[in-house]
Chains A and B, each alone.
Chain A
């Protein structure tokens, strides 16, 4: 975890980010280090994490987290971390689509399934640990790049936001990482950035 970032966003090292909806957006510089920062910060403050990886595999995050001092495998075993392998899930839907010609997979149903799995993991973690988890999504822009409708993706984010604000007590935290490419001519990414505004 980067101490300088903690100073910049005025968060103490042991503080939990309750009720936070953090949006990380990048345009020309790679911002994935912030995702790792939030992941290690949450794990160090003993907040359970539901990590949805859409752009890289588990091994990549594990190796980098080890450099930060956290072992994701042990965190998984002690139920502090649920790692949703988005790359495999979405990749499999792309592959399966060609096998089953008569059972086409709808875009909306893919997003709904993903939302369901995140929701169940969140509730499980909350029950087992007693405190509200953090949801981190690495690269929600992948959904836009793959062609999911922007409105559907924004609805997806809204549902997640509702999920963390469900209880009156301790609220969870949501961190979304969106990357805006240099030459993104269409406005879909810009709409997503607006969401992170307030």
Chain B
């Protein structure tokens, strides 16, 4: 429907891939993480061609949950998914994805065809426009999910998904001196997947062939199941993980792919964690309150979310969120990330410790014997 005669001069050079949108800040293609509140904090979404590192909380629950959201988003947008986990069976993770909340527009109005030709008296310029918008957007950017229900397996199977479990990693026969064997095998498989699925930016693509994005999810990389000893090999640092991440970065920069990795960073030496952060693009850490004394001011939240790094892609500056004090909460149905705020003061007595306690006035006598603060 054209209401104006204005036409854009330049051809749209931005690729139209379902589920991906160009960033508002720079000319970067972004995809959603599956959690809309997180998307808005990191600048609209995760940039295609980057590595998203999530430093897990101590028990790993929330990290796994965020990875599930990432996978669910792949299903909803039709992107290809490649999931790896050495701790758990990735097929099991795929069965536990949260179900999407789809808006049901309801039955169309029955009298749609018998629109009375009411002649508009005031807004007559809009007479020729249709009454209702006829094409609702079906593939949006960022979906909402219901954690109480699991995704229909038919829906999950409708996209191209592949998994690598621990059993597949054990059958590696390649030996490399510079990297841990399991990482080397994983890197090889990712490279193969990118080449086979034509996700690389260098492959020639016919006009009618639609481009798609590959989402790679790696759960609990660097855990003892990967043969990793907290970044140490004896007394020296083991650089396998940093080489793996660098190899991934090199692969992804020239591919239409996004990688989300969860790492248990508390297992690593802090200096090593600093290195890992530098090699990834977006780095976020979850710190849950589980098992520790809850700060009464933060009892609404289940943990803190810290942003360690945001990428600078094609620009000198990275996106700066409104605030860096962020917390996450897991409600029955959804998981959100919000700006931390104190709960409102509703009680009559002041909860601040430096307030002097107000003594009760003695009931007898009109002269006040109690030490009230407003005694004259």
Listed in ascending order, the chain A residues whose CB lies under 8 Å from chain B are: 30, 32-33, 36, 56-57, 59-60, 63-64, 87-88, 90-95, 97-99, 101, 104-105, 107, 141-142, 145-147, 179, 181-186
Evaluate contact between B271 and A186: CB separation under 8 angstroms: yes
Evaluate contact between A104 and B177: CB separation under 8 angstroms: yes
Give the tally of cross-chain contacts (CB within 8 A). Answer: 103
CB distance from B363 to the nearest CB of A (A): 62
B269-304 residues at the A interface, CB under 8 angstroms: 269-271, 273-275, 277-279
Evaluate contact between B270 and A97: CB separation under 8 angstroms: no
Indicate if B249 sits at the interface (CB-CB under 8 A): yes
Given A95-B250, A98-B187, A147-B178, 17 extra CB contacts under 8 A: A33-B316, A57-B253, A57-B254, A60-B313, A64-B315, A91-B246, A91-B251, A95-B251, A97-B176, A98-B176, A98-B188, A142-B246, A145-B242, A147-B243, A181-B275, A184-B274, A185-B269
A-B contact pairs, 29 of them (CB 8 A): A63-B27, A87-B253, A91-B247, A91-B249, A91-B251, A94-B243, A94-B244, A95-B247, A95-B250, A97-B177, A97-B184, A98-B179, A98-B184, A98-B185, A98-B187, A98-B188, A101-B173, A104-B178, A107-B178, A141-B278, A145-B246, A145-B275, A147-B237, A147-B239, A181-B271, A181-B275, A184-B271, A184-B275, A185-B271
CB distance from B172 to the nearest CB of A (A): 9
- Bound Cα distance from A183 to B309, whole angstroms: 14
Indicate if B3 sits at the interface (CB-CB under 8 A): no
- Bound Cα distance from A182 to B271, whole angstroms: 9
Residues of B near A93 (CB, < 8 A) are 178
CB distance from B84 to the nearest CB of A (A): 15
Listed in ascending order, the chain B residues whose CB lies under 8 Å from chain A are: 27, 173-179, 184-185, 187-188, 191, 237, 239, 242-244, 246-247, 249-251, 253-254, 269-271, 273-275, 277-279, 312-316
Among A87, A97, A179, point to the contact of B179 (Cβ < 8 A): A97
Known interface pairs A97-B184, A98-B187, A184-B271; A90-B246 also in contact (CB < 8 Å): yes
Evaluate contact between B185 and A94: CB separation under 8 angstroms: no
- Bound Cα distance from A146 to B278, whole angstroms: 11
Evaluate contact between B246 and A182: CB separation under 8 angstroms: no
Please provide the 8 A-B residue pairs with the shortest distance between their CB atoms, ordered closest to farther: A91-B250, A147-B239, A185-B271, A98-B184, A94-B247, A181-B274, A63-B314, A183-B274
Among A64, A92, A182, A186, point to the contact of B316 (Cβ < 8 A): A64
- Bound Cα distance from A21 to B131, whole angstroms: 69
- Bound Cα distance from A183 to B177, whole angstroms: 27
- Bound Cα distance from A184 to B254, whole angstroms: 30
- Bound Cα distance from A35 to B175, whole angstroms: 38
Residue of B nearest to A94 (CB): B247
Residues of A near B271 (CB, < 8 A) are 181, 183-186
Evaluate contact between B175 and A101: CB separation under 8 angstroms: yes
Residue of B nearest to A180 (CB): B274
- Bound Cα distance from A91 to B248, whole angstroms: 8
Residues of A near B246 (CB, < 8 A) are 90-91, 94, 142, 145-146
- Bound Cα distance from A57 to B253, whole angstroms: 7
Known interface pairs A91-B250, A94-B246, A183-B271; A32-B312 also in contact (CB < 8 Å): yes
- Bound Cα distance from A105 to B243, whole angstroms: 13
Evaluate contact between A99 and B243: CB separation under 8 angstroms: no
Residue of A nearest to B188 (CB): A98
- Bound Cα distance from A126 to B60, whole angstroms: 56
Residues of B near A101 (CB, < 8 A) are 173-176
- Bound Cα distance from A185 to B341, whole angstroms: 34
Evaluate contact between A145 and B278: CB separation under 8 angstroms: yes
Residue of A nearest to B276 (CB): A145
- Bound Cα distance from A60 to B50, whole angstroms: 13
